[in-house]
Structure 1
């Protein structure tokens, strides 16, 4: 089944597919088998991609926005038709349940569909002026984009960057994740079949540092778009700054959840566990730091732990499974280290905490309570199925603790009070605040963080602005 469901992995450069002499193995995290061999781009491949993107930009930037939209919509329609094939490949390489993989494919298509509409609304403006002169502001495609996407969402994360760049009229070279390459490969297939001109979109894989160090300083690279850890994002931003390149950075988070004293603690706990288990917690917006009003604390933690212990964990291709494996062995080591540190410092372990003793990278939903402030997990994003729960005496205390870290990507709250909603909306320092829902973003809303969680926004009406540059044209009617 694997050989039939998993694609033959190739680079996509200048409208053609190619292999290289150097391959990287792609591992199935559910059983540690090798799914395929991923070609690693060499310098000559990158040079070809850069030349192709240069020529592709000349063509695509002059293409009418309506035509750009047609190509994006056709590609989205093709991916919707191929949802089962794409979703199966994602589950094989990343581990998430097939149901989640299908939803990820649809989410990726929604980014394409939204940006296709926005492509036709990159309006400029005319500035009122004196007689005989006109000032016009244009929004033009910025140029070639060097994009880098992570392994946790193999299809929807590349889609955000690809759709935004192409909708704006840019060409793009994207380095997708080596551990989960199939999602980006299927996007390339859909764009190719949709009639995207050669060179506009190029897909490469390889050693991340080597590719970023080579692509970012290139003269025709005009924007760097990255999703990943804060440490790597800061490093890439430094390289970009030395070369005067703008950046679009969607970086790490450590999402707080404030549970106020006016909600049903059991219902809030059950919703929270389900969202915590999504993608095995490997989500930058995953709800992690729970600050629960002390009057609800015992009931909330008990319900949370009970539901966590009930989750069915296994191979994501099994329809009865609710949570798949972690994506790689590094995450297992990280989970163990954080749990050991927290329990050694006095935290209570209410659920999970140990690997499941089977082949594959399986780790259960893990719940820690009563954590001291010096526990590592209170400061470090676990990026796994680990939730930490502490009591608070007031909303003031909860907001203070929610804002105490240098991250500000997503934050959540549960309350029925209009006054609490107002305070949470105004006072939580995050790019995305959700009340009574744990959905941080959709295609039509701007998504991004503050502080160490990044710079800029993807999605929504605001998303395309980063892929354009502003030009002011002053026109005098006649010389005098």
Structure 2
């Protein structure tokens, strides 16, 4: 999930390469136009629920289709968790926590097994990246170079933390000794989104496993495949049964059952702000802690001294990365009035050069949107933008007649009151706004309910510092975008979330502190 603001070369592709249309897994795999590496990747997945170390069907036999966003056709039918299945998973996690070895083994041993999982993911990197691209639509080149390596790095980072979680000895008044333990919370309910499935899984698993917790993870119904394969690799790595349980299913059923379950000790959620509010209410009934990584409408401020080509490229990557389906997307591009017209001209040129096509073509920069629902939502915002008076400079239309491909879209003359400037679109729609003064752009950039990320492009140290200090967001990027490190805290201000991912900060959300007081005996009489 790292953007270097470089311009990947490639030619525009307006034809997709349909995979298949069968709903039955083996029938799908027999299709002649399904490449052998794709068949192999799909065959590696057990499309069931992972509960207590076993891949099992839903209790009622329910399934749902996961689709290929390149065509809209079904890839596999996957077991769909219902409330009773979530309950089974929570009970398995509770048994593993209360009676199993995971929270009782040394931190070094836990770390060794997490390292082993990371090693296995690295061994299966191409397979997992292929599953990610099949299910999500992102370019395989991105999944191989960004999502998988960063997910693996994240697990290794927390594997190193597992034996370094400790308490303190604290001086007290009087004849008393006090010390603390940092202990695991217990059973953790984790709900992850569809935009970075394997990376978000790693972000959640790392600190939870390092801290000695057990997990029930609800994966998005749009993208369950890579997470299930990682679950199998976790068992192969030696992580005990019941420590990691995975329940694919809908948010309204499986997600709600997990968030409201009385046997869960914490909920961690990544997704939209609207759903995050619901999760908080459900978890509040049981008074369990919640961490939320939610939506954003991130401002990217381009200053008048900017290297224009570099700024255009960075703003382009900030918005269009992952087909615009990124919570940190720089979706409000604020450009100083003195360079505005030229910036728009170059932004349009860059968008027109973007290679859109099959994610398995190495030259592709932008694949399809993840689903029909998301595709139609983005189109509706493009229509709103035009209706509300923004200038559609480029794009705005569907590509082809199969799958969920959209033209990269650029709007100019966008004002703060327009829907495309206020709402999280989660698609390849760049909105370019004009600003005049530092005070004005800070006020406008902060005039949002969100505060996940923000960025500045300038060579002026004073402007960079003033804007970085003034922008109300959890992460500020200067002359870059979407740069992450496992050790650097990440999270939002305002309605963009509660708590932090990454670093030691995340461990505080997966451990709890126990204080112990002990009176000291009277000093020994050495003269006896």
Q: Tell me the TM-score normalized by structure 2.
A: 0.88
The answer to whether the Cα contact below 8 Å between 2:139 and 2:366 also exists between their aligned partners in 1 is yes
Partner Cα distance (1:64, 1:394) in 2:
56
* Match of residue 11 from structure 1: 49
The answer to whether the Cα contact below 8 Å between 2:82 and 2:253 also exists between their aligned partners in 1 is no
The answer to whether the Cα contact below 8 Å between 2:317 and 2:481 also exists between their aligned partners in 1 is no
Query: Given the alignment, which residue of 454, 469, 484 partners 1:441?
Result: 484
* Match of residue 97 from structure 1: 139
Is 1:267 aligned to 2:310, yes or no?
A: yes
Kindly provide the CA deviation profile for residues 81-100 of structure 1, in whole angstroms up to 9, marking residues without a partner as x: 10000001111111010011
Q: Which segment is superposed worse, 18-27 or 194-203?
A: 18-27
* Match of residue 86 from structure 1: 128
The answer to whether the Cα contact below 8 Å between 1:260 and 1:395 also exists between their aligned partners in 2 is no
Is 1:57 aligned to 2:97, yes or no?
A: yes
Partner Cα distance (2:357, 2:237) in 1:
36
- Cα shift at 1:320: 1.7
- Cα shift at 1:139: 1.3
Kindly provide the CA deviation profile for residues 13-67 of structure 1, in whole angstroms up to 9, marking residues without a partner as x: 1111112311100100001121101101234432321221012113321121111
Partner Cα distance (1:43, 1:436) in 2:
47
- Cα shift at 1:469: 0.9
- Cα shift at 1:300: 1.2
Query: Given the alignment, which residue of 61, 65, 69 partners 2:111?
Result: 69
Partner Cα distance (1:243, 1:158) in 2:
24
* Match of residue 146 from structure 1: 189
Residue correspondences, number: 480
For residues 121-140 of structure 1, what are the structure 2 equivalents within 5 Å? 121-140=164-183
Query: Given the alignment, which residue of 432, 450, 460 partners 1:417?
Result: 460
* Match of residue 16 from structure 2: none
- Cα shift at 1:479: 8.5
Query: Given the alignment, which residue of 24, 30, 53 partners 2:70?
Result: 30
- Cα shift at 1:214: 2.2
Query: Given the alignment, which residue of 168, 171, 183 partners 2:211?
Result: 168
Query: Given the alignment, which residue of 388, 394, 398 partners 1:351?
Result: 394
Q: Tell me the TM-score normalized by structure 1.
A: 0.97
Q: Which segment is superposed worse, 330-339 or 392-401?
A: 330-339
For residues 202-281 of structure 1, what are the structure 2 equivalents within 5 Å? 202-281=245-324
2:423 is paired with a residue whose SS is coil
* Match of residue 393 from structure 1: 436
* Match of residue 80 from structure 2: 40
Give runs of ≥4 in structure 1 deviating > 6 Å: none
Partner Cα distance (2:306, 2:416) in 1:
26
* Match of residue 227 from structure 2: 184
Kindly provide the CA deviation profile for residues 305-336 of structure 1, in whole angstroms up to 9, marking residues without a partner as x: 10001111111011121110000112222222
1:97/1:286 CA distance change after superposition, 3 Å: same
Partner Cα distance (2:65, 2:261) in 1:
29
> Which one has a bigger Cα radius of gyration?
2
Instruction: Point out where structure 2 has 5 or more consecutive residues left out of the alignment.
Output: 1-34, 524-528
Kindly provide the CA deviation profile for residues 330-356 of structure 1, in whole angstroms up to 9, marking residues without a partner as x: 222222221221212221111111111
Kindly provide the CA deviation profile for residues 94-135 of structure 1, in whole angstroms up to 9, marking residues without a partner as x: 101001111211111111011111222223212112353111
Question: Considering only aligned residues, what root-mean-square deviation do their CA atoms show, in Å?
Answer: 1.5
The answer to whether the Cα contact below 8 Å between 1:258 and 1:291 also exists between their aligned partners in 2 is yes
- Cα shift at 1:276: 2.3
Partner Cα distance (2:179, 2:164) in 1:
16
